[in-house]
Amino acid sequence: MVAMVEGETARLMKINSGISASEMERRVVRYADLRPCYNAFIDTRSPGSEKKENFTIIGPGVAENPEQYVHITEKHGFNIGGARQPPACVNSQHSHDTAEVFVVHTGNWRFNIGEKGDDVQVLAGPGDVITLPTNMFRGFTNVGEDVGYLFAVLGGDDAGHVMWAPYVFDMAKDYGLVLLENGELIDTLAGQAVPNGVQPMPRTTAEQVAKAYIPTLAEAESLIWRADDLHATSIRPIIDPEGPFDWDHGFTLARLDLAPYDVLPNETFEYPEVLFVQSGSLKLEWSEGELLLSKGDTITIPIGLERKLSSDSGVSLYRVRGIEGG
Ligand SMILES: [Fe+2]
């Protein structure tokens, strides 16, 4: 944890201590209010992928559709998104320039690694966290029997563009979607045309594919933090210099559990901080009010706000925090 500069903390606390309940509510994205995009990416009409829902909760992430709704636009130094897919629905093979981390909120998922997704495959279930390195083709399939939801974190304010596996470009052509070199998606079936002076994104080359990292099965397994049934009050660092994934992601991530009626002492933090409720319900109190968060809800805490976390029912949370220069 970064030590606070006393003067700066006092300044931020003064700014944020008067935050009203309605202002705080605007910093909450409730699961029930998530606005999906069904055509966020080039692969969204390809058979097997057309039912995926994509969410941009904090920041635009890597969405290719400029019309996608971003719930919270304030810069955090990282992007938070979500993916919801029915059984058997596939997110196609792609790579990122930044760290990409998934927390499995619901469902059972197979993460498919390699150009075509069949080089290495690992399974993850509710509460598990997987960190996926840059320059590695990955996709994921809901292999459970119910709709599943993944909470996603991408490093940086600008998460760059997705590098799709070559086959994804080929499939998209059959369904009228063209990805431009500036990362935007054009829907020719909806009458959109490629603007003058803008070229389509070149198909990913065999050379680029050859440079991508392919882990062994053991290496891929080592990228997963497995959730357990321990719900005793605890803060467990996961992506953190003190955690199992101690390399730089541009943010830290921890699992917080509060047993019923337990309270975390008042605290402030001088960088962006986002809480995501995995299960149970969370009470957040500050000098001007309090609010309750339920399973699947996300909140971004005002920087420097003194607040207390508690739960009458018990709660499991994931906490994403910005880091200096992150
Ligand atoms: Fe991704």
Give tens-digit pLDDT for 84-96.
999 999 999 999 9
Show the tokens assigned to 165: 């596996």
Q: What is the pLDDT of residue 182?
A: 84
Give the residue-averaged pLDDT of 48-55: 89
Separation of CA 96 and ligand 1 centre (Å): 6
Calpha distance 83→54 (Å, rounded): 5
Residue 2: pLDDT above 60? no
Rounded distance, CA 226 to CA 51, Å?
28
CA of 154 to the centre of ligand 1 (A): 8
CA atoms of 143 and 94, how far apart (whole Å): 19
Say how many Å lie between the CA of residue 192 and the centre of ligand 1.
25
Residue type at 68?
Q
Beta pairing partners, 285: 290, 308
Scanning the chain, the segments in alpha helix (DSSP H) are 6-17, 21-25, 166-173, 206-211, 217-221
Contact at 8 Å (CB) between 146 and 106?
yes
Q: Report the chain's C-alpha Rg in angstroms.
A: 20
Higher pLDDT, 40 or 283: 283
pLDDT digits (tens, 9 = 90+) for 231-284: 899 999 999 999 999 999 999 999 999 999 999 989 999 999 999 999 999 999
Output the CA 63–ligand 1 centroid distance in Å: 10
CA 10 – CA 21 distance, rounded (Å): 21
The H-or-E segment that residue 319 falls in is strand 315-322
Q: What number is the average pLDDT over the span 177-186? A: 86
Least confident of 6-15, 129-138, 216-225: 6-15
How many angstroms is it from 94 CA to the middle of ligand 1?
A: 7
Residue 254 · residue 244 · CB < 8 Å: no
| CA proximity to 93, closest of 120, 71, 68, 112 | 112
Work out the average pLDDT over 295-305. Answer: 96
Determine whether 244 is exposed, middle or buried from the number of CB atoms within 10 Å of its CB (0-12, 13-18, 19+).
middle
Taking the alpha carbons at both ends of the chain, their separation in whole angstroms is 14
Question: What was the pLDDT predicted at 1?
Answer: 39
pLDDT at residue 326, as a whole number: 65
Report the SS3 class of residue 245.
strand
Average confidence (pLDDT) over 74-88: 95
CA distance 184 to 128: 32
Residue 58 CA, ligand 1 centroid: distance in Å: 15
